[in-house]
Amino acid sequence: MIEYRNLRIALLGAGSVGAQVAHQILNHGEELAARIGAGIELAGVAVRNLDSPRTADIPRHLLTTDAESLVLGADIVIELMGGIEPARTLLLTAINSGADVITANKALLAHHGPELFEAAAQVGAQLYYEAAVGGAIPIIRPLRDSLAGDRVTRILGIVNGTTNFILDRIDTLGESMEDALAIATELGYAEADPTADIGGYDAAQKACILASLAFHTTVPAEAVYREGITDITREQVQAARKAGYVVKILAIAERIKDADGVEGVSARVYPALVPDTHPLAAVHGANNAVFVEAESAGPLMFYGAGAGGVQTSSAVLGDLVSAARRHVVGGPGVGESTHANYPILPIGAIRTRYQITLSVTDEPGVLAEIANIFREREVSVETLEQKTYGSDTTTPTATLVIGTHEATEADLAATVAALEASPVVVGVASVLRVEGL
Amino acid sequence: MIEYRNLRIALLGAGSVGAQVAHQILNHGEELAARIGAGIELAGVAVRNLDSPRTADIPRHLLTTDAESLVLGADIVIELMGGIEPARTLLLTAINSGADVITANKALLAHHGPELFEAAAQVGAQLYYEAAVGGAIPIIRPLRDSLAGDRVTRILGIVNGTTNFILDRIDTLGESMEDALAIATELGYAEADPTADIGGYDAAQKACILASLAFHTTVPAEAVYREGITDITREQVQAARKAGYVVKILAIAERIKDADGVEGVSARVYPALVPDTHPLAAVHGANNAVFVEAESAGPLMFYGAGAGGVQTSSAVLGDLVSAARRHVVGGPGVGESTHANYPILPIGAIRTRYQITLSVTDEPGVLAEIANIFREREVSVETLEQKTYGSDTTTPTATLVIGTHEATEADLAATVAALEASPVVVGVASVLRVEGL
């Protein structure tokens, strides 16, 4: 191997992950160089404000607000600024100027992944993004390379640590949603505006990335069906636990056939009931886990810390060493594969099981009436349990918990609408999907 | 991208994994080609005996007993024959004739990995071995690439499905070692001669591979300390469960300092007590799991099917797609990194906790005598429990279960020897290490 000049690394962003990546390059540069087979040099760190406080010290002379100039002189660009712009433009500039690029930017990949992949393929640039999903957990390479010869059928991912932390506290400590969210905010797991997490937006971007990768298909970010955890109550979580389930918000990517037999991909995010014996049920706190089912490999699970600056820096630096090793030995980046390009199926085409809790008037003939509503919409009831009697209304009411066989979202939605319109139904308290069976 | 002639794939071996790999290439060739960006063609399958029964049909004209000729005409050689020779010579021939190579051969990698890596580096050949450890579980790429920028501190792996199956049956069903082994044999999990599994030899080869990879160090196969499960009894497993532990045979790779402060690598295999709350404790049946601790990433776990022809073929085909993609775009293979080359520390330098069960005479002063034996060898006692009184001897005896703080293997061995020589000790029933704390 020839003696190589130092590889120049440009870092965009010095938030919790970026500051840690800078710290590691500055303090473990020799070890990284030994693994790479060439020296590396942190050429600079682009920031918005030179004076912002950082979680790790970065020498002042490395900081710059001129991201574009930094990018133009780099061999490898690491983008950790987040958001769409200027990240997108800077990465395209980097790729077109001959640099290899690394990003942890899930929003950018979900919305502009195909554009970036295409730009990289045009010039043979490498593009790595192990940190975009699952923080420190290696999940991108396993899906992209290790499982590249298998046929993934389904991915169930706990990919948002904040919401898993909140749901776990409700489940294990009996806290209310409000209290659990307050603790998450206090501990720094939740942002001041927690919408991206509890609304399921963050998880939806990750579902988009996972579905694209696993099914060799371009999945537009807007095609991901999304529900957050804002409507989940302590009562639901506790009732689920008693029934043998844990409530988890899942990013789901699935290859399925719709009612017409058309094979397609579904990418969706919602809180669901997971059997308490499922490996995902044991994922506590802010941890992440991705459960992958493939035709040959069978079920696999990848588990670890899904967030945190130090933890996520591990994935970024793994990408840096990978990109740098290839840079040194030569040869272009291997592009993304979208050869399958399955149609993206709407949520109405999904088949899953449901658990529906509703309150009904306690009169003769009610059960037959309810059963009819399900039967007419071709939703088959698997279990029916009458739970408690309410005495807070003038009419005596009963609570029914109904578990269904697999049904389509469309049929289920029609059933729920009919239930709500029925004179014997006082109210539909909860509709939750069951996943992981 | 230029139109590419079909890549010629040579397959060596048609056992349970090989037959499945052939089946997948023959039946999903177009899908694999789409992912690769070039056609692939199964040039032939080298077997020892043309007429042996196979678990999947391979057209007769593809079978050959002339492995060398097959290798010489191939772009990519997949070695699934197992054993050292002729696998080693054939892979070296393949590498030197310009082919990329894939192997699942853990024995070959443990004993001749450095020779193969060096040969591949000389000519820029790619060498992949995802299937060598953990069957279908992606663990090689995560360690080699995703964690390449982190510093792994410890790996605890359940990497042998047969012994996990046996220990799990003893634990969960209360079977004896003999009965559990008989069932494992009947179900095809254990070979007719189960020595490689229950003796820990298979796990030791995998520990060697994992330690080499995680610590960028050449670990000779002979340097792996090894104990099998043959001495484990149902009584030990049941006592462990009562004490809050599960007995698992672990492949351990660890970066530690010895008593003189020398940083080195330990690779070892033995049955150990794992806290029942540890994620590894929940790995049942013939499944595998690799628990990795790294400085930045923190704890990670990779879980799935560790064996089986169909499952393992997933890892081999992932390697095939990876190697073929690179073959198409050009650029040499990225070699293995052994830049650290830590010294390999002997088992005596290892510090861990122990649980020792011994039977003592039930007389005044015995506890003081036992405590002295530990203190004199600098092994600190953390817990001491007097369990049951035996009445099967003329002298009344008591059973002591002693948990130690961390101690070196050398000090512990001296302590056990002194216990065995002590007049107050009737016998040392069990010495088990505790891991995963």
pLDDT tens-digit readout, B323-358: 999 999 999 999 999 989 999 999 999 999 999 999
Domain shared by A273 and A249, yes or no:
yes
Domain shared by A292 and A317, yes or no:
no
Domain shared by B160 and B280, yes or no:
yes
Domain shared by A119 and A144, yes or no:
no
* A294 three-class SS: strand
What CATH number does the domain containing B412 carry? 3.30.70.260
CA-CA distance, B96 to A249, in Å (whole number)?
Answer: 52
B341 in any annotated domain: no
- Could you report the per-residue pLDDT of B231-286, keeping only the tens digit for each? 999 999 999 999 999 999 999 999 999 889 999 999 999 999 999 999 999 999 99
Least confident segment among A127-131, A348-352, B10-14: A348-352
Residues of A in contact with B331 (CB under 8 A): 326, 329-332
The chain B residue lying nearest A306, using CA atoms, is B297
What CATH number does the domain containing A102 carry? 3.40.50.720
- Could you report the per-residue pLDDT of B370-389, keeping only the tens digit for each? 999 999 999 999 999 887 65
Q: How far A84 CA sits from the closest chain B CA (Å)?
A: 25
Residues of B in contact with A320 (CB under 8 A): 149
Q: How far A157 CA sits from the closest chain B CA (Å)?
A: 14
What CATH number does the domain containing A183 carry? 3.30.360.10
B253 in any annotated domain: yes
Domain shared by B168 and B240, yes or no:
yes
* Domain count of the fold of chain A: 3
Q: Which of B1, B146, B291 to mutate to test the interface with A (most CBs of A within 10 A)?
A: B146
Q: Which of residues 318-337 of B touch A (CB under 8 A)?
A: 318-322, 325-326, 329-335, 337
B338 in any annotated domain: no
**pTM, to two decimals:** 0.94
Q: How far B121 CA sits from the closest chain A CA (Å)?
A: 10
- Residues A412, A350: contact at Cβ < 8 Å? no
Residues of B in contact with A322 (CB under 8 A): 145, 148
Q: Which domain holds residue A419?
A: 350-434
> Is A166's pLDDT higher than 60?
yes
Q: Give the pLDDT of residue B376.
A: 95
- Could you report the per-residue pLDDT of A379-390, keeping only the tens digit for each? 999 999 887 655
Residues of B in contact with A305 (CB under 8 A): 297-300
Q: Give the pLDDT of residue B391.
A: 54
> Is B301's pLDDT higher than 70?
yes
Q: Average pLDDT of A9-17? A: 96
DSSP state of A179: H
- Residues A338, A216: contact at Cβ < 8 Å? yes
SS3 labels along chain B:
CCCCCCEEEEEECCCHHHHHHHHHHHHCHHHHHHHHCCCEEEEEEECCCCCCCCCCCCCHHHEECCHHHHHHCCCEEEECCCCCCCHHHHHHHHHHCCCEEEECCHHHHHHHHHHHHHHHHHHCCCEECHHHCCCCCCCHHHHHHHCCCCCEEEEEEECCHHHHHHHHHHHHHCCCHHHHHHHHHHCCCCCCCCHHHHCCHHHHHHHHHHHHHHHCCCCCHHHCEECCCCCCCHHHHHHHHHCCEEEEEEEEEEEEECCCCCEEEEEEEEEEEEECCCHHHHCCCCEEEEEEEECCCEEEEEEEECCCHHHHHHHHHHHHHHHHHHHHHCCCCCCCCCCCCCCECCHHHCEEEEEEEEEEECCCCHHHHHHHHHHHCCCCEEEEEEEEEECCCCCCEEEEEEEECCEEHHHHHHHHHHHHHCCCEEEEEEEEEECCC
Q: Average pLDDT of B62-89? A: 97
Both structure tokens of A134: 């699952």
Domain shared by B17 and B123, yes or no:
yes
Domain shared by B373 and B421, yes or no:
yes
Mean pLDDT, rounded, of chain A: 94
| β partners of residue A397 | A361, A390
The answer to whether B31 contacts chain A (CB < 8 Å) is yes
DSSP state of A131: G
* A44 three-class SS: strand
A338 in any annotated domain: no
B285 in any annotated domain: yes
Residues of A in contact with B330 (CB under 8 A): 331-332
Domain shared by B101 and B233, yes or no:
no
Domain shared by A171 and A270, yes or no:
yes
> Is A1's pLDDT higher than 50?
no
Cβ pair B34:A216 closer than 8 A: yes
Cβ pair A305:B325 closer than 8 A: no
The answer to whether A8 contacts chain B (CB < 8 Å) is no
pLDDT bucket at B5, cuts 50 / 70 / 90? confident
A98 in any annotated domain: yes
Cβ pair A311:B297 closer than 8 A: yes
Out of B206, B248, B257, B387, which one is annotated catalytic? B206
Size of interface A-B (CB pairs under 8 A): 204
Cβ pair B24:A149 closer than 8 A: yes
Q: How far B319 CA sits from the closest chain A CA (Å)?
A: 6
Q: Are strands B40-46 and A63-64 parallel, antiparallel or unpaired?
A: unpaired
The answer to whether A315 contacts chain B (CB < 8 Å) is yes
Q: Give the pLDDT of residue B389.
A: 56
Q: Which residues 6+ apart lie within 8 Å of B375 measured at CB? A: none
Domain shared by A247 and A360, yes or no:
no
- Could you report the per-residue pLDDT of B81-111, keeping only the tens digit for each? 999 999 999 999 999 999 999 999 999 999 9
> Is B33's pLDDT higher than 90?
yes
- Could you report the per-residue pLDDT of A360-408, keeping only the tens digit for each? 998 888 999 999 999 999 999 999 988 765 555 566 789 999 999 999 9
> Is B1's pLDDT higher than 50?
no
Domain shared by B83 and B184, yes or no:
no
The chain A residue lying nearest B129, using CA atoms, is A146
Q: Which of residues 207-246 of A touch B (CB under 8 A)?
A: 216
Q: Which of residues 149-208 of A touch B (CB under 8 A)?
A: 149-151
Domain shared by A15 and A62, yes or no:
yes
